[in-house]
Amino acid sequence: MNYMIKPRHMTFADIRAIYRDTHQISLDASAWDDIKAARDVVDAITKEGRTVYGINTGFGLLAQTMIPNEQLALLQKNLVLSHSTGVGDYIDEDTVRMIYVLKISSLAQGHSGIRRSIIEAFIEFVNAGIVACIPEKGSVGASGDLAPLAHMTATLMGEGSVLYNDEIMPAKDALNQAGLKPIELSSKEGLAFLNGTQVSTALAIKGLFQTEDIFAAAVVAGSMSVDALMGSVAPFDKRIHIARGQPGQITVAEKYLSFLDGSNILSAHEDCDKVQDPYSLRCQPQVMGAILDIIHNAARTLLIEANAVTDNPLIFPENGDVISGGNFHAEPVAFAADILAMAVAEIASISERRLSIMVDPKMSDLPAFLVENSGVNSGFMIAQVTAAALVSENRTMAHPSSVDSIPTSANQEDHVSMATYGARRLGEMCFNSACVIAIELISAAQGIDFRAPNKTSDMLQKYHDKIRAEVAHYDKDRYFAPDIDAATDMVLDGDFSDDVMNILPTGSA
C-alpha cells in the first residue's frame, strides 16, 4: 500500500493507518517547491557569509560561536553524533514508523531549509523497511526530542543500530543491504532533524489510540456489569443528561441505553425493591462522559501537533527571514499526555469498583467470587486483587509530568516540558487499564451466565459470545492467568470498539 504524505493535512485516519500497517510512502508533489524555496534561503546566507543561528553558528549556549563554511557539514554531523545519548529499551516499530512520517511532514512544509535530496533519501530509507533503534529514554521534551531524534538521524548517516529484515544490525550494514548510501548533512539540516516534537507526539498519539480502545471496552464492560448486577437503566435516561448539558455525558449515556436495550435480565427485575445502584454503576455517564470530553480535547491538540512545524530556527522564504523561536517546546503534548493519563487511570478506577461489587455476594446477589462451591473454589477473588494493584500503579503514574522541569544546557534551556516521558508512560498505563477492563469483562460475562435462563440484550450477547470464544465459563478453579491475558489482548486489539468508535476522536473524524 502507498501512503502520500500531505504536509499539514494529515488526519487521524491517515496516522492510524501508518501506525497499524507498513506502507510505502511518498510526498505530495506540491511540497517540493516549498522545500526548495527554504533551502535557497539557507544557501544564500552561507554564500553571503551572514551569521544566522542554526545555519552557521554553534547551538544552545554556543549560539554566539561563528562556524566557518568549510566546517558546516562537520558541525551538523557532530551535532547528531553528540546528541545520540538515549538509554533504555527501543521504541516499538509501529511508533517509529509514525515518527518518520511526522518528521517528513514537518520538514516538507518549507520552513526547515533542508535539501530535497535529503528528504528523498529519508523516504527511500523508510520504504526500504529500515527501522531505527531509538532508545526510549533521554528526552526532556524541549529543544525538541533531541536524543531520540538524533538516534533516528544517525541511522540515516550509517551510524547506530537498526532493525532490518527482523534482525538488529549496524545501520551501515542495513543501508548497504538495501542498496542505499548514508546521507551527508549540510548546513541547518542536522538541527532541522533534531529539533521537533515528533517522538513525544507519536508516543502520545499511540497512547490516544490505546485509550480509545480501552474506553470503548470499558463502556461495553460497564453495560455488561449493569446487566449482570441487575442494575437500573433509569440513570441513563437522556433527560437527566440533557438537564446537565455536558456533551460527552449525553453522548455516552445513549451508548449505555443502546447496549442494554432488550435485555431480559433487566425486564425480569423491573419490580424489585432496590432504590439506587452504587455510583460505579449509575454514574457511568457522568464519569465516562467527562473522560470522553477530555479525550477529544487531547486529540485536538495532538492532531494539530502532528501537522506542525516544530524545529528551530524557522525560515520564511517569502522575505528571507530566519526567526529563532521555540516551537520545539512540547508543552502542548505534555498537557495532552497528562490529560490522557488521568482518563486512563479513571477508566480503570471505576471499572475495578464494579468488579468489586460483582465478587461480593452481599452486594451482587451472585455466588461469592463468581464461582459455584466457593470455599473450595476461590474464583475471581485474586483477579480483583490484581485489578486493585493495577489501579494503584496507574494512580501513581498519573501524576502530571508537565509540572516538572529540570533546566538543561547550562541554563539556556531553563524550562522544559517532560512531554516524552509523559507520553511514553501512557503505554504502561494503558496496558494496566486494559487488564482491569479485561477482568471486568470476563467477570461480567460470568455474572450474566448466572442470570440464566434470563438473557442479556442482543448487542451485549454479541460481546459475551466474543469473550466466550476465548475464555470459557469459570466453573471451578483453574490456572487463571491465560484467561486474563486473552481478554486483555482482545481489549488492546480493539475487539470491543466497533460500536463505540463513532463517538471517539479518531473514529468520528
Listed in sequence order, the residues at least 6 apart from 259 whose beta carbon sits closer than 8 Å to its beta carbon are 219, 220, 223, 457, 459, 460, 499
C-alpha cell at 109: 512544509
E strands within 440-497? none
The DSSP bridge partners found for residue 66 are 57
Q: Which residues are catalytic?
A: 53, 83, 195, 279, 282, 328, 413
Spatial contact of 148 and 420, defined as CB atoms under 8 Å apart = yes
Terminal CA-CA length for the chain: 22
Q: For residue 444, how many other CB atoms are within 10 A of its CB? A: 29
C-alpha cell at 191: 538541527
For residue 65, how many C-alpha atoms fall within 13 Å in the half-sphere facing its CB? 9
Buried b (16+ CB within 10 A) or exposed e, 386-424: bbbebbebbeebbeebbeebeebbeeebeebbbbbbbbb
Spatial contact of 401 and 425, defined as CB atoms under 8 Å apart = yes
Helix (H, G, I), strand (E, B) or coil at 323: strand
Is the alpha carbon torsion for 337, 342, 343, 349 positive or negative? Answer: positive
CA angle 332, 335, 338 (to 5 degrees): 150
Spatial distance between the Cα atoms of 401 and 417, rounded to a whole number of angstroms: 8
Burial class from Cβ neighbours inside 10 Å (0-12, 13-18, 19+) for residue 477 reads middle
Spatial distance between the Cα atoms of 356 and 348, rounded to a whole number of angstroms: 12
C-alpha cell at 481: 492467568
